[in-house]
């Protein structure tokens, strides 16, 4: 075969060289790995995962269960690529799977001898002694299909958002008719097709439509669609979505890589995704050489590949005769047609006349017969054929390809969400999707139509209905053009007159070689065993036997399995049903599913207006929620510990500045603003004077402390509330919710101004002097008069600046709220005035020394009493969350209380996250260390802790930290470690 140039609808001339299992092969442009290898006589494409049986190609599309290849070189291999979809290109390196050391000689195939031993569910019955773990690694290595990639070097994927009136999935006859009808009605149409070429079965079945041959008709229809502005996406499959958004995935060449994810927002969705041909179960039906009939036709029409010289066709419907005629015309020898129906003899119509012609040319046409077994030790050599009724003789027919067709399963998956229901149609021997919502329409083979005229008419009607639902009129003259014309056109593929037939008779002992699911080696014997053990529901059978859970998503096995189960149970297939199919409808690479939000774009970082300065000046930035914040500056030390101490010490000695821009800032304005804040916070805002601020705390609905911050009164009816970093969005929602519910109708506006103001904290004894120097004479007076918790508004460099005297370090300190545009200027000026930058590490040291709270203490589990806010509670302001603080548990002696802790020896390190127990107790914790730092001001480790109230300052407690070291005896001290009187801050 090699050497000849093949002709087909998809292959061009030229030569492409690639390798398979280390051997060089060639193919033509347009070939797939399957077509090129089949053309060169390759029969073996891998081994099955469980019994390691040699396998060939079954199908010509994504339903292929066997021929999965590993592509590329280590480490960036891509496993489990379906050979019928993989476009070859120069230099492509392919390998077969599930074999060691080689495909021909596989050590693990010795397991085949175990046959019945390794049936369904055998894992559950053994490997218990001494433990599953002792077998697991061997079993894991035997399982698992393709090689695990060690790297992924595929290019970044593209994501496109499309909107249209009508999305048509599938560009076969029905899809083309639907798209054209919708387009003619004026609808904006997107048409997607999973194959690289359109036409579907028209590609090999031919026929005449509207006075044209099928393929020219398809080309003309595509041209008309293009002229009308419809968008065509090839190699693009529907993978998921529901009303309002359908997700498509384009995977050019059949390899994860340069793929595109489309999010389409159509008004209507037409599902014209065709139907998948089904195999029939018989003994050794997995032998290489056993294929689907439609696959053989596709390989011949598309790529000019003859899948065998001597064929036997095995089917349960009329269409096999036209197929046989086409294959015979292609030069293949059709030895026999085995038709399971007995009533086909003497049938009138096209099929009957074709049959006469085939018989005349030497094809044995056996009605009421079935292929009962394949012969051949490694690949197909012959089939055994037996009559289905009576005691006829079993004949042996030599062949190198058996082409089977057991009917078609409509591709209805995309029509089963949001109200779609599956219903069995006995005439088709298949399940159809019913109860569709208005926006979704199935048509053509996906809707159970198999005869070309009906397919086209159904497609057109679907297209019109979709256009109408999208708001377009279908009474226009263009819309109606062409209707009725295709009723006349026909070919040999009329109604198939299918009679459901699922498996050939076989002795009980041979049922373990009647394969139902080729990928998972599920046999009829497995189904029988499952039933015997009480797994009678299809969902149970699926889970117990692994039926239909392979990479082909049960395309060829799920209905077959259900039907055989029905036979074994003696029930109707309608009663047995089939298992639920789930998105994605086609396997999608994780990277494609992830879209663009990967790598640096994964949870995009938020950066302050000083970020550029930090990066350029040796700051070590770290994530704080989504924000990036300086942890320390390298100029102050090699690591966070050293630098943090240096920076914190400098703040207390002279002064420093920190970037506080991430501080949440919410403006609350309106006549009711003051009352609103009173109801949100534990203390009243109404008592705050304009130009002053107040430390305030608010509660969650259940009474736990939610957040704390300063509230500034900007004007009688205008406040600014600060929130913890990263908490602003949540606090804003919290405020807005309360405003729109309990406070509905009151005049309060809420605005998140977090990013409208950059914040620089200037702290330390020299901060005032530095500010005076930087801000100039205009500010001198107000800076002097600014008391603790006062603020003043003014200008700097012509832009707004607010100076708030407030401290998170216990030092004389100011928060400078400025417009982001002048933040860097102000920052540089402050440095020039002698204030050096400090980061989060120093910030943490300074605040722990002073006993200020962060999320380690306000952790969603602490009440105001737990955090020593009894004083605030006593003021009696009835705010949100107060009522539920009365619950008894919150007043028990075991409830925690915020305390300070230090090592009893004044030296030893202890860390946040240590559990606290009393000295004589080692199991039951009485609290934990929430924060701990080395205090340069005090020369020892200091911490904050939540400790059971029953333990007072006299308690001898121990920090238990077995995870990181050991135990540290602690003493309990007041939470404010440094300058408890607060003199420095008020100086």
136 interacts with another protein by CB under 8 A: yes
Residue from the set 49, 648, 789, 948 that interacts with another protein by CB under 8 A:
49
Residue from the set 40, 112, 242, 868 that interacts with another protein by CB under 8 A:
242
Site for another protein in 610-669 (CB under 8 A): 622-626, 631, 640
Residue from the set 227, 477, 741, 954 that interacts with another protein by CB under 8 A:
741
We find the least distance from the C-beta atom of residue 332 to another protein, in angstroms, to be 34
Rounded CA separation 285/512 (Å): 11
Q: Using the rule CB under 8 A, give the single segment among 273-281, 587-595, 610-618, 778-786 that binds another protein.
A: 587-595
We find the least distance from the C-beta atom of residue 96 to another protein, in angstroms, to be 14
We find the least distance from the C-beta atom of residue 301 to another protein, in angstroms, to be 28
Site for another protein in 945-964 (CB under 8 A): 960-964
Pattern 696-735, another protein, x by CB under 8 A: ----xxx-x---------------------x--x--xx--
Site for another protein in 340-399 (CB under 8 A): none
Q: For residues 859 and 908, which CB has a smaller minimum distance to another protein in the complex? A: 859
Structure tokens at 252: 């050019």
Q: Which residue reads 């002229």 in tokens?
A: 227
Structure tokens at 562: 């259900």
Residue from the set 352, 510, 884, 955 that interacts with another protein by CB under 8 A:
884
Q: For residues 157 and 789, which CB has a smaller minimum distance to another protein in the complex? A: 157
Q: Using the rule CB under 8 A, give the single segment among 31-39, 244-252, 298-306, 753-761 that binds another protein.
A: 244-252
737 interacts with another protein by CB under 8 A: yes
We find the least distance from the C-beta atom of residue 575 to another protein, in angstroms, to be 12
Q: Which residue reads 């894992």 in tokens?
A: 123
We find the least distance from the C-beta atom of residue 676 to another protein, in angstroms, to be 15
Structure tokens at 640: 């966070």
Residue from the set 2, 19, 132, 671 that interacts with another protein by CB under 8 A:
132
Q: Using the rule CB under 8 A, give the single segment among 22-30, 280-288, 799-807, 920-928 that binds another protein.
A: 920-928
532 interacts with another protein by CB under 8 A: yes
Asked if residue 455 lies in contact with residue 447, where contact means CB atoms within 8 angstroms, the answer is no
Rounded CA separation 489/514 (Å): 40
DSSP code of 112?
G
- Residue 122's contacts (CB-CB under 8 Å, 6 or more residues apart) are none
883 interacts with another protein by CB under 8 A: yes
Rounded CA separation 16/899 (Å): 76
Rounded CA separation 189/195 (Å): 18
Asked if residue 875 lies in contact with residue 678, where contact means CB atoms within 8 angstroms, the answer is no
Residue from the set 90, 359, 639, 740 that interacts with another protein by CB under 8 A:
740
End-to-end CA distance of the chain: 97
We find the least distance from the C-beta atom of residue 932 to another protein, in angstroms, to be 8
DSSP letters spanning 724-768 = -TT-HHHHHHHHHHHHHTTTTTS--EEEE-GGG-EEEEEESTTHH
| Beta strand spans in 306-368 (E) | 310-315, 333-339, 364-367
Cα separations (Å) of 242 from 245, 259, 417? 6, 21, 7
Q: Using the rule CB under 8 A, give the single segment among 318-326, 555-563, 773-781, 922-930 that binds another protein.
A: 922-930
922 interacts with another protein by CB under 8 A: yes
Site for another protein in 590-619 (CB under 8 A): 590-591, 593-595, 597-600, 602-603, 605
Could you write out the three-class secondary structure of 909-954?
A: CCCCCCEEEECCCCCCCCEEEEEEEEECCCCEEEEEEEEECCCCCC
Rounded CA separation 237/191 (Å): 10
Rounded CA separation 686/726 (Å): 27
695 interacts with another protein by CB under 8 A: no
Residue from the set 93, 108, 111, 145 that interacts with another protein by CB under 8 A:
145
Could you write out the three-class secondary structure of 771-822?
A: HHHHHCHHHHHHHHHCCCCEEEEEEECCEEEEEECCCCCCCCEEEEEECHHH
Site for another protein in 794-853 (CB under 8 A): none
We find the least distance from the C-beta atom of residue 445 to another protein, in angstroms, to be 23
Site for another protein in 77-96 (CB under 8 A): 78-80
Q: Using the rule CB under 8 A, give the single segment among 5-13, 275-283, 781-789, 921-929 that binds another protein.
A: 921-929
Rounded CA separation 960/491 (Å): 84
What are the phi and psi torsion angles at 911 (to 5°)?
-130, 155
Asked if residue 685 lies in contact with residue 711, where contact means CB atoms within 8 angstroms, the answer is yes
690 interacts with another protein by CB under 8 A: no
DSSP code of 283?
B
Site for another protein in 544-573 (CB under 8 A): 544, 546, 549-551, 553
Residue from the set 232, 536, 653, 824 that interacts with another protein by CB under 8 A:
536
Pattern 150-189, another protein, x by CB under 8 A: xxx-x-----------------------------------
Q: For residues 222 and 628, which CB has a smaller minimum distance to another protein in the complex? A: 628
Asked if residue 929 lies in contact with residue 946, where contact means CB atoms within 8 angstroms, the answer is no
């Amino acid at each position: 075969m090699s050497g000849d140039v093949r002709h087909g609808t998809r292959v061009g001339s030229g030569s492409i060289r690639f390798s398979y299992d280390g051997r060089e092969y060639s193919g033509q442009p347009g070939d797939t790995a399957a077509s090129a290898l089949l053309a060169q006589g390759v029969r073996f494409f891998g081994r099955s995962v469980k019994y390691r049986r040699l396998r060939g190609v079954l199908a010509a599309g994504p339903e292929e269960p066997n021929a999965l290849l590993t592509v590329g070189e280590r480490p960036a291999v891509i496993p489990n690529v379906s050979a019928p979809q993989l476009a070859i290109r120069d230099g492509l390196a392919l390998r077969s799977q599930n074999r060691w050391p080689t495909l021909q000689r596989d050590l693990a195939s010795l397991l085949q001898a175990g046959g019945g031993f390794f049936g369904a569910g055998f894992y559950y019955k053994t490997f218990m002694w001494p433990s599953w773990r002792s077998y697991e690694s061997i079993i894991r290595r035997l399982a698992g299909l393709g090689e695990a990639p060690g790297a992924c070097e595929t290019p970044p994927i593209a994501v496109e958002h499309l909107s249209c009136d009508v999305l048509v999935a599938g560009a076969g006859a029905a899809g083309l008719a639907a798209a054209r009808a919708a387009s003619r009605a004026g609808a904006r149409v997107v048409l997607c097709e999973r194959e690289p070429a359109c036409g579907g079965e028209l590609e090999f079945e031919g026929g005449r439509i509207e006075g044209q041959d099928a393929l020219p008709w398809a080309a003309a229809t595509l041209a008309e669609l293009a002229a009308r502005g419809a968008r065509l996406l090839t190699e693009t499959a529907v993978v998921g979505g529901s009303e309002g958004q359908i997700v498509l995935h384009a995977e050019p060449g059949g390899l994860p890589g340069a793929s595109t994810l489309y999010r389409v927002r159509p008004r209507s969705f037409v599902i014209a995704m065709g139907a998948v041909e089904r195999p029939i179960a018989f003994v050794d039906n997995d032998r290489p050489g056993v294929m689907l009939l439609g696959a053989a036709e596709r390989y011949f029409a598309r790529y000019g590949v003859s899948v065998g010289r001597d064929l036997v066709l095995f089917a349960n419907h009329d269409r096999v005769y036209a197929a046989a005629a086409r294959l015979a015309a292609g030069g293949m020898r059709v030895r026999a047609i085995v038709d399971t129906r007995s009533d086909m003899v003497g049938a009138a119509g096209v099929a009957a006349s074709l049959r006469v012609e085939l018989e005349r040319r030497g094809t044995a046409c056996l009605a009421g017969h079935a292929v009962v077994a394949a012969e051949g030790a490694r690949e197909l050599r012959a089939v055994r054929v037996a009559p289905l009724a009576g005691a006829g003789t079993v004949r042996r027919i030599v062949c190198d390809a058996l082409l089977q067709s057991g009917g078609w399963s409509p591709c209805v998956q995309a029509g089963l969400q949001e109200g779609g229901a599956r219903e069995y149609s006995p005439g088709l021997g298949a399940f159809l999707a019913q109860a569709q919502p208005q926006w979704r329409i199935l048509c053509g083979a996906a809707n159970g139509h198999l005869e070309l005229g009906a397919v086209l008419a159904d497609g057109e009607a679907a297209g019109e209905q979709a256009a109408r639902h999208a708001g377009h009129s279908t009474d226009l003259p263009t819309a109606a053009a062409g209707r009725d014309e295709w009723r006349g056109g026909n070919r040999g593929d009329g109604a198939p007159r299918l009679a459901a037939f699922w498996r050939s008779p076989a002795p009980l002992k041979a049922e373990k070689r009647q394969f139902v699911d080729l990928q998972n080696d599920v046999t009829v014997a497995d189904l029988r065993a499952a039933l015997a053990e009480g797994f009678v529901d299809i969902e149970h059978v699926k889970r117990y036997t692994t039926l239909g859970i392979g990479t082909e998503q049960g395309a060829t096995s799920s209905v077959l399995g259900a039907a055989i189960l029905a036979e074994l149970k003696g029930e109707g297939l309608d009663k047995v049903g089939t298992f639920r199919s789930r998105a994605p409808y086609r396997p999608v690479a994780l990277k494609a599913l992830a879209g663009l939000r990967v790598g640096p774009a994964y949870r995009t970082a938020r950066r302050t207006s000083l970020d550029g300065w930090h990066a350029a000046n040796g700051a070590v930035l770290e994530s704080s929620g989504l924000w990036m914040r300086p942890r320390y500056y390298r100029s102050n030390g090699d690591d966070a510990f050293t630098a943090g101490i240096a920076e914190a010490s400098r703040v207390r000695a002279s002064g420093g500045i920190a970037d506080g821009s991430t501080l949440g800032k919410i403006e609350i304005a309106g006549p009711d603003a003051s009352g609103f804040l009173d109801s949100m916070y534990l203390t009243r805002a109404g008592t705050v004077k304009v130009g002053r601020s107040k430390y305030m705390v608010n509660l969650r609905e259940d009474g736990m402390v939610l957040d704390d911050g300063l509230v500034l009164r900007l004007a009688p009816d205008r406040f600014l509330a600060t929130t913890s970093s990263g908490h602003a969005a949540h606090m804003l929602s919290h405020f807005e919710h309360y405003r729109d519910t309990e406070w509905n109708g009151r005049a309060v506006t809420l605005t998140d101004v977090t990013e409208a103001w950059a914040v620089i904290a200037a702290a330390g004894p020299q901060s005032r002097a530095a500010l005076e120097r930087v801000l100039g004479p205009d500010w001198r007076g107000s800076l002097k008069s600014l008391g603790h918790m006062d603020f003043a508004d003014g200008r700097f460099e012509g832009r707004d600046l607010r100076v708030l005297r407030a401290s998170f370090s216990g030092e004389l300190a100011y928060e400078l709220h400025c417009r982001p545009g002048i933040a860097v200027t102000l920052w540089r000026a402050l440095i020039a005035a002698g204030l050096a930058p400090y980061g989060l590490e120093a910030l943490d040291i300074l605040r722990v020394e002073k006993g200020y709270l962060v999320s380690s203490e306000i952790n969603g589990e602490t009440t105001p009493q737990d955090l020593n806010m009894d004083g605030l509670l006593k003021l009696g302001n009835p705010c949100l969350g107060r009522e539920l603080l009365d619950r008894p548990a919150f007043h028990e002696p075991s409830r925690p209380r915020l305390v300070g802790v230090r090592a009893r020896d004044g030296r030893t390190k202890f860390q946040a996250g240590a559990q606290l127990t009393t000295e004589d107790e080692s199991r039951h914790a009485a609290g934990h260390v929430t924060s701990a730092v080395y205090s340069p001001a005090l020369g020892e480790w200091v911490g904050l802790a939540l400790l059971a109230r029953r333990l007072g300052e006299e308690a001898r407690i121990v920090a238990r930290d077995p995870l990181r070291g050991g135990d540290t005896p602690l003493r309990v001290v007041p939470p404010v470690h440094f300058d408890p009187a607060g003199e420095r801050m008020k100086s």
